């Protein structure tokens, strides 16, 4: 199974890619330009030369989407729509995890403020763009900080809240996400729950700023998920 990270050259996408590749997952890092993807992957392999990143390679977003069995979208809100539209033809019947969060930074505002979207959430916006393709859209990776992802080899002390309308797709996504040491995937229900999940991110950002941390995360306790 190949996991393609669309817009994966930023800290979030690269961090997810590195974490999964270390666990032996076949990963493609996608970028608008193939040259940048290749450059970033080469640098990652140099920076993490004590780890086996042989399963990670770089491609242009369109090629990454074509080759991937599961896609993870890690782009800023402003790039979300054109990026999804650019890979739409390659999303047919695939699982598409979207980590986009509607932060006010998209319009020059503060990172701890949320923008309300007409569709209800960024993940629902992706689902509306991909309507008719058979893609199974899942909100995922919204609440894990880039610092946590980059802090290899430390385990990540944070749950990954997901939401989506296809239970089988969510189960497959959880199998991938749970490969990252320390992370536990929590299925929060239908895709509409992304409206709540995405709003947790600016709260965590605000807490990290207030308490001068980079590792604030979320754990769900008191529930038996087995």
Distances (CA, A) of 159 to 155, 186, 216, 217, 218: 12, 7, 11, 8, 6
Boundaries of every domain in the chain: 2-211
pTM listed for this prediction: 0.94
Write down the mean pLDDT value for the chain.
94
pLDDT tens-digit series, residues 151-182: 999 999 999 999 999 999 999 999 999 999 99
What's residue 103's pLDDT?
73
What's residue 95's pLDDT?
98
What's residue 104's pLDDT?
63
What's residue 44's pLDDT?
97
Element (H, E) at 43: helix 34-47
What's residue 87's pLDDT?
98
In the predicted structure, residue 121 carries a pLDDT above the cut 90: yes
What's residue 105's pLDDT?
67
- CA-to-CA distance for 126 and 102, rounded, in angstroms? 12
pLDDT tens-digit series, residues 61-97: 999 999 999 999 999 988 999 999 999 999 999 999 9
Q: Do 187 and 139 meet the contact criterion of CB atoms below 8 Å apart?
A: no
pLDDT tens-digit series, residues 1-35: 999 999 999 999 999 999 999 999 999 999 999 99
The CATH number assigned to the domain with range 2-211 reads: 3.40.50.720
């Amino acid at each position: 199974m190949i996991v393609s990270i669309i817009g994966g050259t930023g800290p979030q996408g690269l961090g997810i890619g590195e974490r999964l590749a270390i666990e032996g997952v076949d990963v493609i890092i996608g970028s608008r330009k193939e040259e940048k993807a290749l450059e970033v992957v080469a640098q990652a392999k140099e920076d993490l030369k004590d780890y086996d990143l042989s399963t990670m390679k770089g491609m242009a977003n369109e090629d990454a989407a074509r080759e991937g069995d599961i896609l993870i979208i890690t782009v800023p809100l402003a790039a979300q729509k054109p990026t999804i539209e650019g890979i739409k033809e390659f999303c047919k019947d695939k699982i598409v995890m979207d980590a986009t969060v509607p932060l006010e930074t998209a319009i020059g505002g503060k990172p701890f403020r949320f923008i309300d979207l007409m569709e209800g959430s960024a993940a629902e916006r992706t689902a509306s763009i991909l309507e008719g393709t058979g893609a199974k859209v899942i909100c995922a990776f919204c609440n894990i900080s880039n610092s946590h992802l980059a802090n290899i080899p430390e385990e990540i002390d944070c749950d990954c809240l997901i939401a989506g309308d296809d239970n089988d797709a969510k189960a497959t996504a959880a199998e991938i996400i749970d490969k990252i040491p320390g992370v536990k995937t929590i299925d929060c229900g239908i895709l509409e729950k992304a409206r709540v999940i995405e709003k947790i991110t600016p709260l965590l950002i605000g807490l990290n700023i207030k308490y001068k941390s980079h590792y604030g995360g979320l754990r769900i306790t008191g529930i038996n998920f087995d």
